[in-house]
Structure 1
Amino acid sequence: MNLLLKGVTIADPNSKFNQQKCDLHVEQGKIVAIGKGLVAKAALEIDGSGMVLSPGFFDLNCAIGDPGFETKEDITTGTAAAMAGGFTGLAVLPHTKPVVHSKAEVAYIVNKAKNNLVDVHPVGAISQELEGKELAELYDMKQAGAVAFSDGTKPISDDGFMSRALQYAKGFNALLMVYPENKSIAGKSQINESKNSVLLGMKGLPALAEEMHISRDIFLATYHDAPVHISNISTGGSVALIKKAKKDGVKITCDVAAHQLVFTEELLSDFDSNYKVKPPLRGKADTKALLSGLKDGTIDAVSSQHRPHEIEFKDVEFEIAAYGIIALQTVLPLLLKAGLDAGQIAEKLSINPRRLLGLSVPVIEEGAEANFTLYHPAEEWLYNADNNCSKSGNSPLLNKKLTGKVRLVYNNKQIQSYG
């Protein structure tokens, strides 16, 4: 579809039009002109006053239940939620049924997601059945289309196995994305270990469990001179460890879930299971450290950590509720609430995630393929059952007013607008 955007502010550090207010004309999927006073015939014209145009958002850490857990989320509903949240690309985790641990499952996802506005990229499992014992078919999966490898929400506890996985992946430039938790210390924890966990009478997960695991992976990445990506860090100590490792030349990267930049453990006082996530919500000092690490470059990217669940897994007592929230549609409002500006959002949510995975980074320039997100940073909207595109409803933000509205996404010569 041909499109003419009028008076949008471009937020793309890689574009010569960055931070400029411009018109933008798209024909047959390509940006044909950027400038002032553009006119186009037979094009959908949108007044973009007050709106920001960013390269399409990309999520590094998204769970979609297909195959096997389609009652939680399938590719159709997952990509619908992604579009509504401004995402034109997703890296989907392998904890499905069957687990994505061979080229057959990778090919299934690649084929099922074809011809979608949202680019869906499978992340293969590091270990067979996510058991952390035997390596999965990493090389074959990469040849079939896997962009990285992860055991999803399961930490790799065996040090020797992680060492061998890093060594093997290095041989064909594969990236391992690992969840940081020392299981022997974490135990059956429910929330962050603090005065709050004592007050609420629940077993706490100490920051130590995350930080020890990250320390191990820093040692292994150093030993093998191999890259490792730490998914969803949550503590100030983790930020400090990764900052030092980067300064020392270790090939380490990391991301943080958007909700960790805004939500804190005080929200758990009512035992609302929709706030039950893993890693758990931490204290205000951790949130402050995470924001600082994001802005100084220690934290490379923001992820949604989208975790859909059926109602019977969340509408239960806190202690037995499943971990996770649906998040694809609420990442942008949370980042705006956390104080990120348009340039930082483009860097952490569009550019860096793709760079980490070695994918082509969209740029807002004349002659480039159109892949972008248009949003209004000050528009208020009510997030409710009517506009929730996910198959699940486990979000503490449902029925609340949010600020920051996605108005349009464009990718693969397809457009989706949101009045």
Structure 2
Amino acid sequence: MGVFFVNGTLFGTWASRVPDIKEQVDANNGILGLTLLGIAFGALLSKQVAGQLVTRTGSLPVTRVGAALSCLALLPPAFVRGPLGLGVALVLFGAAMGLLDVGMNSHGVELERLRGRPVMSSLHASFSAGGLAGALVGGLTAAGGIGPRAHFALVAVGLGALAAAASTRLLPAPARPARREESPRAWVPVPRRLRFPLTLLAVTGLCAAAGEGAAADWSALYLHGELGRSTGFASLGYALFSVAMAAGRLAGDGLTARWGAVRTVVFAAAPAGVLFGIALASGDAFLALCGYTALGLGLSVVVPVVFSTAGSLGGEQFGPALTYVSSINGTGMLMGPPLIGFAAEAVGLRAALGLVSLLAVLSAVLMCAFAAQRRGNPPHTAPAPDSAAAGA
């Protein structure tokens, strides 16, 4: 939970200062959206390697190295000048965060198997709590006139120390699945029979992650630029989103174990998309805050369920399965905000954010499609689920 908190705080810290960074590099919405593609590109590259490293060395070293590099990579975006420099800095930031994402989620799958019950949602709740902490501190520093350079430097040092302390209490290396003797140098692929169900899971997570990324990168700009609120008030959008998401994820493990993955996702994501769309249509700042709260609650359970289920389908060598899902899923969080930026240039930011409502509803539809596909498969085509998989 400490490592997940570090990851969330890093993302929340970056998200809270996007308006300042935008002014620093003198970029409009379209140019900013283009530079944000650097995060997606860097993460996509590093995740391909991260899954193979998890298979060969276990998730512990991948998580440790990813956490350290992510803290260091927070610094360059605060010191660059111009959109090109920001794009390069965000490639490095995305690569480090991608490595950490695969490592810590792989570690969460192992923990679920050892404990015999779902825990992934609680771990992701810690990520959301970190996002809240990063957003609140970011709002306070922005209101106090503290620049991104000093802010990011202090956060990097503090989170680096927390990550180092937390990593000493992770599962020891002997607990990892040992496959080095079987394939010491081979690239481990995703089994062909699992590619379609994993793709359905991944796109389900992509839709939810796009909403999460939009809340992070565009909530402050929407409330400040479109609705004319102060930067301090604008930071409340992502803060309330993170509070709601953390609360939903704290309850998510129990709800998933009781209701099952499909009903939990459908009954959460679909209403959230509708309510967020209504809040956008109103054009009211306080209703917009309510909309971000509803969106956080509704999307909270989707990504944890996706990772947990993908880890179960992947069997013993779940690293490549998680890489496959995380690469597509992460595209939503990292490429969703840039695409919204491009759409905002054409139709305005409010209309562009309406895509988030549609994606939330689509995630519920895709989860139903995944369930139907698995019911249509003979039982012997998938690995026998253990207790953690059955709970998920």
Question: Normalising by the residue count of structure 1, what TM-score does the alignment of the two structures yield?
Answer: 0.24
By percentage of residues, which structure has more strand?
1
Question: Normalising by the residue count of structure 2, what TM-score does the alignment of the two structures yield?
Answer: 0.25
By percentage of residues, which structure has more helix?
2
Higher RCO (C-alpha 8 Å, min separation 6): 2
